[in-house]
Amino acid sequence: MFKYLKKYIILGVIAAVFMVGEVSMDLLQPALMRTIVDEGVLGLSNNGIGNIELIISTGIRMIGTVALGGICGVLCGVFTNLCSHNFANAVRKDTFKKILSLSFQQTGKFTTGSLITRVTNDVTQLQHLVGMCVRGFVRSLVMFAGGIFCMLSLNRSFGTVAVIAFPVLVLSVLLIIRKVSPKFAILQSKLDKLNNVLQENITGMRVVKAFVREDHERKRFGDANADLVGTQLNILTLFSFMGPIMNIVLNLAVVAVIYIGGIEVQSGIATPGDVMAAITYLSQVLGSAMMIAMMFQMVSRGLASYRRIKEVLSCEPAVAEGKGVAEQNQQKKGRIEFKNVSFSYPESSGECVLKDIDLTIKAGETVGFLGATGSGKSTLVNLVPRFYDVTEGELLVDGVNVKDYKKKDLRNKVAIALQKSELFSTSIKENILWGKPDATDEEVDKAAKAAQAMEFISTQPEGMDSMVAEKGMSLSGGQKQRLSISRAIIKDADILIFDDATSALDLKTEANLYKALREDYEDVTKLIIAQRIASVKGADRIVVLDNGGISAVGSHEELMETSDIYRDIYMSQLKGGAENE
């Protein structure tokens, strides 16, 4: 984490300097109190006659040191927060950036709940750790060292008591920390599980309600929560031994100082003020040791969070970045070539989902993909923007292997509309502008009209400025799909992919959509995955997939004559005059 911390190390150093100033003022207090007791009250150097003026002047000095210490403490807090929050901000942004660069199988391996926990809770634990190191450890260490020095300056016997008590504290703390440290990684994994359950229930709320599974999900959440609480209580139970042990050692040390001080006062070696100062210093020394011990709890948890963050930051994306391709080295925009492509999902049994795909799609061509569920249609088009890399063979876009493109450049060539429309809780216009943030109002209207979305947008209370509820809950399935299609169209990409993106549209609206695409976006290469023959019937070519391989390629008329699979699908879907609907 030092590469993140070094940017703000100067803030941490300034905070530490102010903390040293605050502790120094605290260490002056017992010495000043000793002067008040010995000289101002008892008058030991003035034949037992007290000195009220000395008491007042020393009291004013004490107030001054307290005020100065307070100012240093406030400034220390300010710079500590600047250091720790900026550090956490940098780590959180880089962690999020890394998550966005991971492939689908990598994010699936971590799980959504775990990634949310790492970006939020784990980074916060690191932030607390940095703040505590800058402020807490500096205060405790300076207080401990300064207190020991001051006690030895007063009387070596008093200092000896603190030196003997310290190893007892350290040993007891180390024994407890040794037991607790491994449990923090377990605690964070339990928090992952809780977040997973919560995330699944929020996103799948409709399914839970539709199947009346509220009681089951409440129990599942309760079990995950109880598991988390049980682990937390286990940790806190172990830490609960620390406080009493500290207090016992502290009080025994105070008793020892009073006993030794009583003997030495009677013998004239020490004064009552020395004993009072020693007790205060001892409280400060052992109190700082206690604070260090308590901070080990946060250190243990912070280190567990650090390891979890490091897992994400050190994870190399499965889809590597290409070296980049010059524009002049590319062919006509939108040409796609599959050359003996085979693909199997990572960490699967090794069985190929796609086998020996050999297909060339010309620039500006409209190609439909049809086949049974699980035939590999979506997998095939997901290889084009490199959501996954081919296992064997080559995939070329504009004559260049997709692995040679920078991912940003390749994906700028591709626009995708999915069956499940992911919308954001902002205005309709902003959702469309996701495809092209700098688009003009005319471009937005054109895309919406082509997607047949203007029909319902015009009926919204505020038109394009109407707000969309989270995940598009305020819209119907067909409305969400049309907004998703508008977002893809406005991107003005070379390749347009519809992955069953019109499944919620009626045949008339779908026909109008494809007519608009043919007329206004004829230069764009269009890949259309569909379950209905009516969706792909007007395509230049239709690719029929079967068990991961290409069964047939041709126009609707050609396939009706040559492909048994296509003909069977046609008969099952469109017999009885449905073709004419």
Domains (range + CATH), the chain: 94-313 (1.20.1560.10)
Judge whether 359 and 441 are in contact, CB under 8 Å: no
Residues in the chain: 581
What are the structure tokens assigned to 242, written together?
């620390």
pLDDT of 84 reads 92
DSSP codes, 433-454 = HTS-TT--HHHHHHHHHHTT-H
What are the structure tokens assigned to 20, written together?
């040293």
Dist CA 103 CA 190 (whole Å)? 25
Strand pairing class (336-343; 392-397)? antiparallel
**Packing angle of the helix pair 242-267, 156-203 (nearest 10 deg):** 160
Contact partners, residue 353, CB within 8 Å, separation at least 6: 343, 344, 345, 376, 379, 548
Judge whether 387 and 343 are in contact, CB under 8 Å: no
Dist CA 19 CA 45 (whole Å)? 35
CA angle 320–321–325, rounded 5-degree value: 135
Dist CA 448 CA 432 (whole Å)? 8
Return per-residue pLDDT of the chain as tens, 581 residues. 788 888 899 999 999 999 999 999 988 888 888 888 877 787 777 777 778 888 898 889 999 999 999 999 999 999 999 999 999 999 999 999 988 888 777 777 787 778 888 898 889 989 999 998 888 888 888 888 888 888 888 778 877 887 788 788 778 777 887 787 788 878 888 888 888 888 888 777 778 888 888 888 899 899 999 998 998 898 888 878 877 887 888 888 888 888 888 888 888 787 888 888 888 888 888 778 777 777 777 787 788 888 889 988 888 877 777 777 666 555 568 899 999 999 888 766 667 888 888 999 998 899 999 888 888 888 898 899 888 888 889 999 988 898 888 888 888 889 998 878 888 888 889 989 988 888 898 999 999 999 898 888 888 888 888 888 877 777 888 888 899 999 999 988 899 999 888 888 888 888 898 889 888 888 899 999 988 888 888 889 999 988 888 889 998 888 888 888 888 888 887 654 444 44
CA atoms within 13 A of residue 190's CA, in its CB half-sphere: 17
Dist CA 210 CA 494 (whole Å)? 41
| 128: nearest Cα among 312, 314, 300, 307 | 300
DSSP codes, 533-576 = HHHHTTSSEEEEEETTEEEEEE-HHHHHHH-HHHHHHHHHHHGG
Longest dimension (CA), the chain: 125
CB atoms within 10 A of CB 198: 16
pLDDT of 526 reads 92
DSSP codes, 155-181 = -HHHHHHHHHHHHHHHHHHHHHHHHHH
Torsion sign (Cα): 90, 96, 99, 100: negative
pLDDT of 581 reads 41
Dist CA 526 CA 503 (whole Å)? 17
Q: Taking phi first (over 0 means left), then psi (-120 to 50 degrees means alpha), and beta for anything else, what does residue 492 get?
A: left
Bridge partner residues of 541 (DSSP): 367
Judge whether 380 and 545 are in contact, CB under 8 Å: yes
pLDDT of 332 reads 63
CB atoms within 10 A of CB 351: 9
| Dihedral angle computed from the Cα positions of residues 65, 68, 72 and 78, in that order, rounded to the nearest 10 degrees | 140
| Dihedral angle computed from the Cα positions of residues 59, 64, 66 and 67, in that order, rounded to the nearest 10 degrees | 140
pLDDT of 578 reads 43
3-state secondary structure of 360: strand
Judge whether 121 and 188 are in contact, CB under 8 Å: yes
Contact partners, residue 357, CB within 8 Å, separation at least 6: 338, 340, 341, 342, 380, 393, 549, 550
Starting at the earlier edge strand, list the strands of the sheet with 549-554.
Answer: 414-418, 495-499, 525-529, 366-371, 541-546, 549-554
